[in-house]
Every structure is written in structure tokens, then in C-alpha cells.
Structure 1
Amino acid sequence: MRVIYATSIVLLSFCGAMQAEELPALPSGTITTVGDEAATAELKHRQTVDQQMQAKSISLDVREVPLHEFIETLSKQANVPISLDNAALQDMGLSRNAKVTVEAKNLSASSVLDLALQKYGLTYVPNEDGIEITSREERDLILQVRTYSLSALLQDSSGTIERWQEIITGNLAKDSWEVLGGPGTVRAFGNSLVVSQTEEVHAEIDYFLTMAAQAKQFSSDDYPVKSLLILQQDQAIQALREQLATTEIEIAFQAGTLRQAVEALNKKGAFKIQIDEQALIAQNQNASMSVTLSPRRRSVQRTLDELLRPAGLTWCVSARDNSVVITTPYTNCFTEEPRLYPVRDLVWHGLKVETPQQRQTLAEITHWQGKQWREVAILKSVRAPGVPALPDFATLDQLIQGTIEPGSWEALGGSGTLQFVEEIDCLLIDQRPEIHDAIARMLHQVRQQQSPDTPQKLREQIEKTNAEIISVRYPLVWNSATADLDEAGFNNLTRLIRSGTEEASWQKPEASLHFAYRDLVVRQRRDVQRQVLSILRELDLIYLTPKANSPEQAPPGQYLGGGGGGFF
């Protein structure tokens, strides 16, 4: 105890000495720079080309036209110079006369170009004038260095630049980063990330950061909860899925072949549908198999489901040409899509949390509510009855991974992943489209079950439990079992605790603080007890160990929810 007392005296003396000296003045001016005109012009041109390729709305219907003619047409409509890497085309056995068929309506120039080039395994990269058509192999050899400002995501001190660096490398083009042997690198500088990557990965990063900033700025008054695709190339695929779900047709088949059924569906003209015959043959099936569908008006999606399910078949949307592909459940057509799910209303249980201070206060109040602390004896009084840990991500994690296709998640051998991006109150989920649909339906049902007065009741419960007077005996850990715990040392610790908590709370007759041998016994409001506990931990006078398999220690998929509340 003398150690604490002596240390306090030294600190006070040191602070007094520091106050006696006048600190040197800090620099008051700001360095101004003269820009590199050539670099500025190049960057501006690059940004203009990117904007034109993304923003320009293009409608084209070309069939079997030479590639170079298609490029000329698109270049004029997009107002972007587009050239061909003839050497790369020759290496692939292609020529500038390769035939292109594209049907696009109100799509960006980049999406139209993707549709046209995917058939041949081609892509495009930026060059000095505009963009150049080349092979994917050539593209992957070209690394571009770009800087991304994260000021909008860090403006309220939520999260760190390193945290966003981890999110990007852990979710976007995972195998392309140096940590897994890829060529891509990312470094933090101030509030920016400097990234060396391929053009394709840069496009993913740029779009993801745009979506993340958008989600962070969502108003709590009209909070949008629809999931956000974070890869721009998935937008066209999702748009087609939505059209399949909303477009209705009336069609019937009586013991016809699958091929005949697909021909009849294609004659309806709404969508391009094809059969993956190789996948069917691999499962001892073929396009001549008999199918039946009763006459009724239904969506195209429902039509496909009812037509294919009895035969053990399914369908997916092909990213290659935006068509519907009839295939088997065992094909690699079903790839994961990363999406952001805004869940501010769920993880904060409806409380309108608008400032970093409010977030910090709620997090501190409910810090000990998690299940991992439930068996720690000293915390049984400090924990607030009926109050969940906030933000309550653990319960939401358990709800999703424990009920929606559990075997599809990484924890049980699947490939799906889920993490909470607390900085923007979103779940980042990488899963197959049909599982995303199931997650969206479940979250909708959860929200429907929420009572409008839940936030008010939670506020009242927090205020009530904070005001309750409780007694806690803190088993302090001293430096030595034989330390001389003199009265001066005890008094010094008492002053530290009183000065670090709400002073007025100690004036009430029910409040007390005394020592019982080596333990500290405090009778106070529950919220003040949490402050006392925090001070003792900072002084290394008390140690708390969570039980095994806490959320911080457990492998992904072993879920531990909050200390109360929940979503139902």
C-alpha cells in the first residue's frame, strides 16, 4: 500500500514541477504546397474516365457484330477512348473481328463492356488515353497505386485506419493480398490507405468504401434496412433476380421435355434461359427429361422453382452473360456475395444512438452484461438485471448462424462468413444468394416482432438499475502478501476512488466505503460501482477473467449472447 501512496506523491510532485515550467509554443502555421501539374492533370483525367464509365447510362442491342465495331459504338456513347490490346488478343487466339452480342438497357458503360467481354475471358484496364481491352492475365500483371481517404468513416473517432485495413484485406479479393502470397499491398498514412492492386480490386475497394460511408450516414429517423451489395458487378445480377421475382407469366407443361420447356420460356422474351447440359450429364440427367407444370399465373422465379424442384434441379444467374442457367445443386454456379446489413436498430435495441458519447456510455454501462462474465462472482451485483450487452451483436450472430443453414457457415466447415462492423452498425456477410434471401426474411420477421415501446422500457430499466444501491466486496490484489497496509495508504486509495467518481454520490447517507482486511467494501449506486471497478482495474488492484469460450476467446460460430433482452 505504501507503494501506491508513494507513487501518488511522486506523481503530484512531478505534475507541480511541470506546471512551474512554461511549455514551448506549438507551430501555428500550415505548410502550403505547389501541386505537380502533370500528376494533377493525369489524376483528373483518370477520375473523369472512371466517372464516365460508371455514370453513363447505355442502351445497346447488337448481335454478332465484330468486336472492333462494338468498341467504336460504345466509345462514342460513353465518350471514353477505348482501344484493343491486339497482342493480348492474338495470344488468346482472338482477333478484332470476334463476334459480340449484347442486349443492355440503361446500364453503365462498364457493365455493358463486362457483358460483352466475359464470353471471351477479356477485360479492360486504364491507359493514358482512356481504357484498353486486354486479357485477364495481362490485367492481373498491372498494379495501380491509389490512395483512399477514410476521413468520412473516421470523422467521429469510431474505429481506426488499421481496422478498415483489416476489413478490406479480409473481405475483398482475399487471395490477392501479400499476406496470402498475392501481389496486392495496403499501407496506412494518416487517415488514408495507400493501395497497390489490380484495377478490378481497386473498383471493389472504391465501391465498398462508398457503400460503407453511405451506411454510416443513414439517418435513425428513416433508417433503411435493406442489405447493400458491396461489389458493383453484383448489382446487375441482383437486378435480374429482382426482375425474376416480380415478372409474372402464365405457362404450363404436360409431360414435355426440359429442353422444350426452356424453349417455351425463352419465347416469352422476358429473360434468357439456358441449360448447363454438362452439369446435368454429370448427375446422370439430361435435357430430354420429362417435366410438368400446372397452368397458373406466377412469377418467373416461382415458375422455375416449381418446374425444376421435382427433378432435383435448380437455377442460378450467370455473371458471365446475365442469363438464367438451369443446373444441379452441385455446380459451382453458386458463389458467395458479400453484403452489408444495416442493423443499428437491432444491435442497439431500438435506442436512437446518435453520438460517439452515447455509444461509449451505453457500451460502458452494459460492458459486463455478456454471458462470459455471468459466472464471475464479483460481477453478479454489478451486472444490471434485464439489460443486454450493447451493441448486442452476439445475440444477432447466434440468431443468424444458428438458424439459417448452420452447415453453410465457416465455423461448421462451410464457406460463409459473418462479422460485425461496429463502426457503421452493419453486419458484413459473405454468403450464397439464397442464404442472403433467407437472412433478409428472418431479419424482417424479427423487426416485425419488436414492440414500439421496447426502447423506452430499456431506457427505464437502465436508469432503474443504475440508481439501485448495492454492496460489493472487491478482493484486492496487492503486490506482496506481507505488504504493510497502513492507514495512510488506505486513505490515499479512498481519495483516488472518490475523486474519480461522482463526488455528490458519496454525500448520501446510504453510501459508504471501507476496508475489511485486504478487501474493499463499497456501498453505492450500481453505476458508481462500475466506475469504482474501472479505477481498481486501472490500478491493477483487481483482475477479472471471463469464463472459457467467451466471444473474445471462442472460435467463430460458438455464440454467446447478451445478458438479457434478446430479440423476442
Structure 2
Amino acid sequence: MRVLASVAIGLLLFSSQLWAQFGNGSRQYPRPQQPSVPATENLPAINPAKVPVVHALPNETALAEVAQKEAILQALREKKFDLQLVDTPLADFAKLLAAKLGVPVQMNVRALENIGLGPDMPITYAMTDLRAETHLRLILRELELTYLVTPYGVTITTPDEADNHEEARFYPLGDLVYLAEATPAFQPDFDSIINVIDTSIRPESWQEGGSLISPINDGVSIAQTHGIHEEIAGLLKAIRQAKAYPGDAYPTEALSIYPHAEETTELRRQLATRQVSARFNDTPLKEVIAHVAKAGDIRIIIDHRSLSFEGLAEDIPITLTVDEIPLKQVLDMLAEQYELSWYTFDNVVVITTPDEAENELETRIYPVRDLLWCGLDASQPEVRQLLESIHLSGFGGYFWGNSRDVGTIHAPPMNDVDTLIEAITTTVSCDSWENLGGPGSITPLDECLIISQTEHVHEKVAALLADVRRHPRKFDPQAIAQQVQTANAEAEVVMYQSPVDKTGAPMLTQEDLQAIAARVKTLVATETWDGDQHFLDPVHSGLIVRNRKDVQRKVAAYLKQINLQPPPPPEIFLGNGQGGGGFGGGGFGNTPTTQTPTQPPNATPTNQSGGFF
């Protein structure tokens, strides 16, 4: 019994200590012992010029391999030559290509044998004055093959085997993930640029368990195949080019992410301007294409592999009469009448099937700065402040204002990126976009739209935007700025509710709310809090704030970080008893809205769950 009594007394004492520590509402939780640090007054002053840094030596071996690989890539991109092959074995083609490039070209024989191909696979092909990489892609695509580039040469292999040879590359993005006026504490916006990359560049390759993107050193490290890395590099280059456009001479033509895009653009111009005449009566497709190519002085190739999948061949009979019409129209007529399609690749026209053409997506960057925000230059701080006051979201990938209607100022409707995207996806080949199961995607970034679509859909998008630009809106920014300034000066009362626990009880005490109120007053618009017309007071289980609308938006943004928000729907009261009005027609000063008078901050709420809230 004496032992049991001793145990009971011990438990009682221990429980008392626990209550004193945890149960008295003071939340004085035990803290781990901190390591001792020297007193700051004993530390020497920091001299920025003498802060030690690590100076790394370059890895000469790795740099040499990068240089060797880049030399091979440059040869593929720049060396042009004619190529005539008639039942030439694949192995002989590899030797011929190696001689023209001056680099080794090998075959992954094991990978080829796994899909039933061998070095003796015959190739028939004829094209003049094309780059080596264009020859290589056109030939290998017919065989459902691809190639790898290493520091030691070119390897012909299968797509599955190439997917197993991902390489990690680093892309510096400091100029794309930081605002120009960002402070050192500003967190870079990697999410927006990563979203653009994995939705615009081969989305299927970023599936779960596939390639990864990881932010590091104001950039991203990406594990992908060589071909996709080339597209990513082109995408980032085009984005930077669009961002650098001046506001006073703003080009609106879409930018391609692919190298040598200027030659493709020239080919498309020739297709639209060069005219041909011809009459075909049950003429084999092969002969029709040869005639059109010669008459228009352009390169055209037939995608035999894709046609064979649809039961078609190069000898299908064509009956067609054309008289002085553009080459593009001839190709469109062939496509429409014989269930074919076509697209441009480098400076070659490829005749294929509709399904295959749908897989040949091209990514372009559409500069739309002049179509956003009624053409206001949002790169200027005063314009950003104006747009923030109007409480628009979505510009530049950043969300201005908070998620509730706090400090809202009504303005005439302005185009934001969502407006443009909706206009495009609902009126231009609507079933070709991913939201309706199509292959195309459209992603905003800053003042651009990044669109991955087929060549023909791109033409329709460009035509729509050109038509919109022909009818610019009439807009007086000075008048709007004056109205916004007047509206910002209006006082508004907003009530914020404390987060609650599972039982519905407020998680913040009065002491917490008082501390938050004091902190807001010292950090947000300090000079405006006079305690009379403009105040911030803790009440029951939240805060009540009265201040100018522009200040209210800043307060809301700060409180949102600690999950202190107006309850849905937000209860917003105008301090002057009048509605905000709108810009349309009479602008500000519409008929006042009758509001239920609010209780004073120190009143005791009655019959309300959570007091005011």
C-alpha cells in the first residue's frame, strides 16, 4: 500500500507539472536546448569585400566531352548536301553519312534486331540541298528509327532505346523566374516556367515516373532525351526574345522554337505565293507530287509509312485540275479530296495522313502584350499599380490581390490571359485542344501565349489574333487612373475570422490577435492608422479593419499568409455607406447601397456563431 501511495503521489506531481506546462493555455511548449553562440557584440563587423567564397576549378574532361558533342551537333545542323539512295542498305547509308559529316556513324544492331530490322534494310530516298539532320530524320522516320548524339559520334537506334539514354542538363532561368524589381527575399517563380515546359514540349514524356525537372541555382536541372533538350532550349530562347520586345515597336508575329525557323517561314511564304497550273486524270500520287514540286520549285516528300498504315500508297490515282492557284491551295485540295494531309518540316513539305499530321505539333510563342490590359505597358511600375488597384489577376503568372473581394475597384472589362485563351480555344478548331481531348495546348507566361498545335491550327490562331488587332479598343488610361485614384481613397470595413480547429473553436487567442494587429500596423501603410477613421482592432475571434481600399488589399495579402481571411461570402462594408459604382456609363457614384450598421469593435456579439464572423 505504501508503495502504491508513493506511485500515486509521484503521478500526481508529474501531472501537475504537465498541466503547468501544457494545460494552462499559455502554450509554453518545451524547446530543445540551443547551441551556444558568441554574443553578437563580440563578433567582428562583416566586410562584404572580404566575405570568403569557394572558387571551383573546371572539370576539363567533362568540358572536353561537351565540346566534342557540340561539334557533332553543329555538323548535323550546318552541313548541307544532296542524297540519292536506291535500295541502299542501312549500313551503307551510315558509312556515307559518316563520310559527309566527318564523324563516326554507328548502328545499335541489337536494338534494331529486337524490332526485326538489320543492317541490310534497303533505303530509297532522294532529296537535294538539305541539312544532314533533316536527311537523317526523314530517312529514319520512315523506318521508325531515331538517332543519338554522343561525344564520340552518331548512333542509329530505336525510339525505345533512345528513351533509355536521358541526359541531365542545367538551364539558367534567373531572368525568367524573378521580377525585375524583386527584393533579395523574393521567392523565384519556378512553377510557371516548369508548367510551360512540361505542357508545351512533348507532354507524354513527362508522365508519372518519367523525366524530372528540379530547381537549383536560379535554374532547373532536367533529365530528358537529346531531341527534347533541343526543343526546351529553343523554347527558352524564344521566350527571352519575346520578353525583350520594346513597347514602342512591338512585333506580333509568333516565334517558332525550332532552329532554322526562318527557312520554314520562307517555304510557307512560297507555298502561299507561287502559283501552278496542272491537269491530272487518274495520275499516280507520286507523279502528281513530282510535278507540283518541280512546278513550284520546292521539296516535297511522301510519308510512305503513314500512308501504308491507312491502306494507301504512292500510286493512288489522282484526278485534279488546277489553273494558276497557289501551291498551298493545291496541297489543301489534295488533302481534302483524298483524305490526306501535309505539313512543313524544315524546308520540306511532307505528304502524310491526318492522324500523323495531328501528331506533328509545333510550339510557337505568341506575343500578346498589346492585347492584354487594353494595351497598357504592365512592365511600368505605375501601370502595375493601376492594374493591381483594378484587382485583375493572372498577369505575368503572378496573382495580384487576395482571393476575396477586398478592396475591389470596378473597371471596364479588360483582356487578361484567360480571356484570350477562352477566345482561342472556343472559336479556333475547338476539338483540337486538350480540354476536349485534342492534342493542342495553350499556356500563358508573362505577356505571351505558348501554343503547341498543328501547323494548320497555328494559321487559324494567327488569323484570329490579327483580326482582333484590326479593331483596337478605345481606352483612356488617364481617365481610368483618375477614377481608380478616387476609388482607392474610399474607406472600407473588412472583418477577418480566426482559423478554427476541428471543434469549431478559434485557434487564435485575443493575445494572438492583438499581436497580429500590432504587427500589421507596423508593416502595412504605417502612417494611415489613426485609430479613428482608420483602425485595426481585435474582436472576439477575429479582426475588424477599416482603411482605404488600396491599404485593405495590402492588409488582405499579409493576413492571407497566416490564413486569416474573410469568411465566405466575405462581409465587406463601405465606410462611407455608398456602393463603389462602376466605370460603365456613370462611372463612380451609383445609387448608394443600404447597409446594416455594424456593431462597434468592442461590442459584445449576441446570437452569432463566432461573434461578428
**TM-score when scaled to structure 2?**
0.67
User: Cα offset for 1:28?
Assistant: 0.4
Paired residues, number? 509
State the Cα deviation string for residues 5-30 of structure 1 (Å, max 9, x = none): x99xxxxxxxxxx9986777668011
2:357 — aligned with what? 333
Flag structure 2 segments of 5+ consecutive residues without an equivalent.
1-25, 28-37, 500-504, 571-581, 585-613
1:197 — aligned with what? 224
Does residue 1:83 correspond to 2:108, yes or no?
no
State the Cα deviation string for residues 79-114 of structure 1 (Å, max 9, x = none): x41322263587254437844534243x54322332
Cα 1:444/1:291, change in 2 over 3 Å: same
SS of 2:325's equivalent? strand
Supply the RMSD in Å over aligned alpha carbons. 4.8
Does residue 1:474 correspond to 2:494, yes or no?
yes
Cα 1:266/1:277, change in 2 over 3 Å: farther
Of the candidates 386, 391, 396, which is equivalent to residue 367 of structure 1? 391
Does residue 1:429 correspond to 2:451, yes or no?
yes
Aligned 8 A contact 1:117 1:123 in 2: yes
SS of 1:200's equivalent? helix
User: Cα offset for 1:300?
Assistant: 0.6
1:139 — aligned with what? 162
The aligned amino acid for 1:400 is: I
Of the candidates 147, 156, 169, which is equivalent to residue 198 of structure 2? 169
2:321 — aligned with what? 293
SS of 2:374's equivalent? coil
Instruction: Write the distance in 2 (CA, Å) between the matches of 1:222 and 1:19.
Output: 58
User: Cα offset for 1:127?
Assistant: 3.3
State the Cα deviation string for residues 352-377 of structure 1 (Å, max 9, x = none): 2336x56864563343679xx9xx99
Cα 1:104/1:22, change in 2 over 3 Å: farther
Instruction: Write the distance in 2 (CA, Å) between the matches of 1:108 and 1:85.
Output: 20
User: Cα offset for 1:427?
Assistant: 1.4
User: Cα offset for 1:443?
Assistant: 0.9
User: Cα offset for 1:299?
Assistant: 0.9
2:236 — aligned with what? 209
User: Cα offset for 1:115?
Assistant: 2.8
User: Cα offset for 1:502?
Assistant: 4.7
Instruction: Write the distance in 2 (CA, Å) between the matches of 1:168 and 1:39.
Output: 27
The percent identity for this pair of structures is: 23
Does residue 1:62 correspond to 2:79, yes or no?
no
Aligned 8 A contact 1:143 1:197 in 2: yes
Of the candidates 8, 19, 30, which is equivalent to residue 53 of structure 2? 30
The aligned amino acid for 2:553 is: R
Does residue 1:353 correspond to 2:375, yes or no?
no
Q: Which has the larger radius of gyration?
A: 2
User: Cα offset for 1:393?
Assistant: 1.1
2:602 — aligned with what? none
State the Cα deviation string for residues 222-280 of structure 1 (Å, max 9, x = none): 33322233355988766644432232223345x65574755643552534365979969
SS of 1:220's equivalent? coil
Aligned 8 A contact 2:378 2:384 in 1: no
User: Cα offset for 1:322?
Assistant: 4.1
Cα 1:124/1:235, change in 2 over 3 Å: farther
The aligned amino acid for 1:136 is: P
Of the candidates 437, 454, 462, which is equivalent to residue 481 of structure 2? 462
Flag structure 1 segments of 5+ consecutive residues without an equivalent.
1-5, 8-17, 548-562
Aligned 8 A contact 1:502 1:528 in 2: yes
Instruction: Write the distance in 2 (CA, Å) between the matches of 1:113 and 1:377.
Output: 53
Cα 1:501/1:39, change in 2 over 3 Å: closer
The structure, 1 or 2, with the larger RCO (C-alpha pairs under 8 Å, 6+ apart) is 1
Cα 1:386/1:188, change in 2 over 3 Å: closer
SS of 2:152's equivalent? coil
Of the candidates 44, 67, 73, which is equivalent to residue 50 of structure 1? 73
Aligned 8 A contact 1:150 1:191 in 2: yes
Instruction: Write the distance in 2 (CA, Å) between the matches of 1:443 and 1:136.
Output: 37
User: Cα offset for 1:57?
Assistant: 4.6
The aligned amino acid for 2:202 is: A
1:181 — aligned with what? 209
Aligned 8 A contact 1:237 1:317 in 2: no
User: Cα offset for 1:441?
Assistant: 0.7
Of the candidates 152, 155, 160, which is equivalent to residue 189 of structure 2? 160
The aligned amino acid for 1:146 is: R
SS of 1:208's equivalent? helix
State the Cα deviation string for residues 431-480 of structure 1 (Å, max 9, x = none): 222221111111111122124x64xx235413421233423232343687
Cα 1:127/1:263, change in 2 over 3 Å: closer
Of the candidates 460, 469, 485, which is equivalent to residue 438 of structure 1? 460
Aligned 8 A contact 1:275 1:326 in 2: yes
Instruction: Write the distance in 1 (CA, Å) between the matches of 2:313 and 2:557.
Output: 66
Instruction: Write the distance in 1 (CA, Å) between the matches of 2:316 and 2:100.
Output: 43
User: Cα offset for 1:546?
Assistant: 7.9
Aligned 8 A contact 2:390 2:484 in 1: no
SS of 1:379's equivalent? coil
Does residue 1:416 correspond to 2:402, yes or no?
no
Matching of residues 225-374 of structure 1 within 5 Å: 225-232=252-259, 240-252=267-279, 259=285, 261-262=288-289, 264-266=291-293, 268=295, 270-272=298-300, 274=302, 291-293=319-321, 295=323, 297-306=324-333, 309=336, 311=337, 313-317=339-343, 322-325=348-351, 327=353, 329=354, 331-335=355-359, 336-354=361-379, 361=385, 364-367=388-391
Cα 1:175/1:181, change in 2 over 3 Å: farther
State the Cα deviation string for residues 172-222 of structure 1 (Å, max 9, x = none): 333334x5233x343332223333332223223333233233333333333
Instruction: Write the distance in 2 (CA, Å) between the matches of 1:505 and 1:394.
Output: 35
The aligned amino acid for 1:350 is: G
Instruction: Write the distance in 1 (CA, Å) between the matches of 2:221 and 2:404.
Output: 47
